[in-house]
A and B are shown apart, each in its own frame.
Chain A
Amino acid sequence: MQLSNRSKKMVVKPMTLKERMYLPAIAAGLGITIKHFFRKKPTIRYPEVKREFSPVFRGLHVLKRDDLGRERCTACGLCAVACPAEAITMISAERKKGEEGLYREEKYAEVYEINMLRCIFCGLCEHACPKAAIYLQPDVMAPAFYSREEVIYGKDRLVENADKRANAGLDRVNGVRKLS
């Protein structure tokens, strides 16, 4: 049947005598294998050598602090709304007097949990956050785990270390560093 004028018929030619004999094909196949034997190895020795990730890789989450070391998250809940896997839960609290050095906004997340068993690393929470608080790190992956408790990441493991800041990768607009 002809529906357009762009079709290209694939014709099957009958086998030639050389093709009908098994041996030349086997030799040719073996030749290719031997050729590959002397090529550069495409594999890497994983734990010792690591592949470079792209700067936009969607790895493990981090809750960022601002330059003064205060937590950025204001518990607005947008990330939890945006999460298609319903992996994020949080409880908000009001900042008390004297805590201005800890939390950037007047409201903050007292509890913030991501269930990594549910998370599909889609990155929608990062797209949703209006406070530049949650990012998927481009150089850290969610590690393997042995018990269910280990999979629910609380603030203790999500909030970045004030001395050792996490890499947030590159922003949507080409080449611009993310707000950190």
Chain B
Amino acid sequence: MDYNLATAAAAPDKELVHYVNELTTINLGPTHPATHGVFQNVLKMDGEKIVSADTTVGYIHRAFEKLAEHRPLYQITPITDRLNYCSSPINNMGWHMTVEKLLGVQVPKRAQYIRVIMMELARISDHIICNSILGVDTGAFTGFLYVFQMREKIYEIYEEICGTRLTTNMGRLGGMERDLNERAITKLRAFLKEFPVVLQEFIDLFERNRIFMDRTLGVGAISAEMALNYGFTGPNLRAAGVDYDVRVNEPYSSYEDFKFEIPVGTIGCTYDRFLVRNEEMWQSVSIIQQALDNLPNDGFAADAEHYYLPPKQEVYRSMEALIYHFKIVMGEIDAPVGEVYHSVEGGNGELGFYLVSDGGRAPYRLHFRRPCFIYYQAYPEMIKDMVLSDAIVLLSSMNVIAGELDG
């Protein structure tokens, strides 16, 4: 029988109408723990099978794009923290780089390398969350507990670099706010030593486990063509077999200096996404190692007195520094008129910033290209004819994060 509800409404066939009336409606979300975030799915179910899904977005819409129109450029960084809160530093750095592109500020190599280190740490923490929660959703709690200790270690490194753990507000326009200090480097080195062991243990637990494979292998597959049509990027596209990675195709922040591979999957199923994310964590570890070993020594901030806050010691003493300090804090920097687009490889996919400047202190218009929003559009089509428990696993393997979905 044709389960298409639209046809049923257009040409009421008695049998079909009866069938439709017999369907169960289930609200998956917005506060259901299985959705891992506040978004709603109205599912029409035929027994355990999903006949159609209707998604609702906007439960934590905070109007970031509108907010940003009233904020000086540097005050938008705390807003970007709250997009994908599992990997805030990537969002922060992406925004800084966008503004630097607009202002034409050249960031020294050391700052770029520190950014790479932080972005890769953020990617690891994002993938840890996604993959371990996938384990929880398939009924394996153990792996989640052990690998999550490593996320704690990553947050401690953030804390040494920027002073806080989750909503990082890390770095500044034109570089970092402070250099990598000894404590941070010690913690980083310790992390690089400990993490591979834990990750290997996690992979041993899951990757060849029959229950996990049965639940994920071939479930929720998306073809490369469909993924591209929807605009998928990041691990979800790579799992479908397309090796698109912004870090390689459109290198930023010196990513061209590092050797790493892009893992790609075959059919884009949940298992493929899991494998791709695991392999990406290995690649990230290797990138951090390379960056830490070859850390250049040319300063952590750009030499851009118009845009980068002068050192505090000078502000207290020198007139000139004080004037620049006031100008920058008041947001009265001379931004050129124009538009820029810059994208970074976020934890979830291509995170883009489209900034239109009319020369004022705030953006005229700012748009965030949020990968989660795009994934969620494909979700109803992907879960059609699936059983409910698989749909939940699929949702967590796509790593849809509510903060990024709604913006």
Give chain A's interface residues, CB within 8 Å of chain B.
Answer: 1-4, 6-12, 15, 19-22, 25, 28-29, 32-33, 36, 42, 53-58, 78, 81-82, 84-85, 120-124, 127-128, 130-132, 136, 138, 171-176, 178-179
Contact = CB atoms under 8 A, between A and B. Distances in A.
Contact of B75 (A22, A82, A171): A82
Contacts of B163: 54, 56-58, 123, 136, 138
Contacts of B311: 172-173
B332 to A, nearest CB: 11
Contacts of B340: none
A131 B325 CA distance: 11
Nearest to B208: A19
A178 B78 CA distance: 24
B211 A22 contact: yes
Classify the secondary structure of B's interface with A.
helix
Closest 9 CB pairs of A and B: A7-B243, A8-B261, A58-B163, A84-B75, A56-B163, A10-B275, A1-B242, A122-B78, A128-B329
A123 B243 contact: no
Interface centre among A4, A78, A171, A175 (most CB of B within 10 A): A4
B243 A58 contact: no
B31 to A, nearest CB: 23
Nearest to A2: B243
Contacts of A11: 266
A34 B231 CA distance: 45
B276 A10 contact: yes
B181 A175 contact: yes
Interface of B: 71, 74-79, 140, 142, 146, 149, 152, 156, 159-164, 167, 169, 172, 177-179, 181, 183, 201, 204-205, 208-211, 213, 217, 224, 241-245, 248-249, 260-266, 271-272, 275-276, 279, 309, 311-313, 315-316, 322, 325-326, 329-331
A140 to B, nearest CB: 13
A83 B186 CA distance: 33
A174 B71 contact: no
B209 to A, nearest CB: 5
Nearest to A23: B210
Given A1-B224, A9-B266, A10-B264, A25 B210 contact: yes
Contact of B329 (A3, A32, A78): A78
Nearest to A24: B210
Contact of B183 (A54, A132, A172): A54
Contact of A22 (B210, B276, B322): B210
A171 B178 CA distance: 8
